[in-house]
Amino acid sequence: MRRFALVSVAAALGLAACQPASDSGASFDAKVKAYLLAHPDDLRAAIQNMQAKDDADQAKTEAADDARAKAALPVLRAALERDPRDFVANPNGKVTVTEFYDYRCPHCIEIAPQVVGLIRSHPDVRFVFKEMPIFGSTSDHAARAALAAKAQGKDYVGLYEAMMAARPLTDDDIDRLAAAKGVDVAAMNAPATVTKDQAQLDDVAKLATKLAINGTPGFIVGDTVIRGEDYDSLTAAITAAEKKG
């Protein structure tokens, strides 16, 4: 990793054109280090150039993903916003927000209190929860607990809030928190229920792929996709949708 970093910086500075075959790796590293120590401004400029390139590449990728999602939305709108298997807060709201999330995703955890606050303070916002576990079996377990709360008519938002607040969230925590909200944990973990819930989670994963939601959290408001923990962009999209009517 260290040599790769040195080669990358050296290449950015134009130092790594052709090294003679006899020039060992240690000798090359020493030359690069000596140059960087003697020319710190060049190092700073090289790093800034690499960061600018990375930022430009990321922006280009996100623009392509946004175009792909916007093209797919008309066909996928019902699956996105009206799947009866999903829990919906404020079902009579005029503006629909859909969130794809994982209970063990650090960014989902950070924005969760704002999501709950939005739901409680804005009854006009119809909020669709899409369970999208991407961090392994414990995340799958948490998603199934939430689906059980929905299926059994229990406090879904309260369980969402409790699981997001549990750090770290373990399998034992999930069962304990679900039971505290009145969920029948034995029924939740029954093989038939697990199979049914897994089919739903698989459908969500396929939907996310079609909409270029490549990570969590991901929010969709109308035709606007908000990637990551960006509450300001989320509320701006909601405001724009409200004005649009």
CATH number of the CATH domain containing 180:
3.40.30.10
Tally of CB atoms within 10 A around 215: 15
pLDDT of residue 145: 98
Q: Which residue has the higher pLDDT, 174 or 15?
A: 174
**Residues 6 and 46 both lie in one domain:** yes
Of the chain, the percentage scoring pLDDT greater than 70 comes to 85
Summarize pLDDT for 70-108 with one digit per residue, the tens: 899 999 999 999 999 999 999 999 999 999 999 999 999
pLDDT at 64 over 90: no
Q: Which distant-in-sequence residues (6+ apart) come within 8 Å of 31 by Cβ? A: 15
Q: What one-character DSSP code corresponds to residue 16?
A: -
Q: What is the mean pLDDT of residues 208-235?
A: 95
The total of structural domains in the chain comes to 2
Examine residue 21 and state whether it is found in any structural domain, yes or no.
no
User: Within its chain, how far is the Cα of 65 from the centroid?
Assistant: 14
Q: Which residue has the higher pLDDT, 235 or 35?
A: 235
pLDDT at 232 over 50: yes
Give me the domain span that covers residue 50.
1-12+26-71
**Residues 63 and 113 both lie in one domain:** no
The DSSP bridge pattern shows strands 95-101 and 125-131 to be: parallel
Q: What is the mean pLDDT of residues 210-214?
A: 94
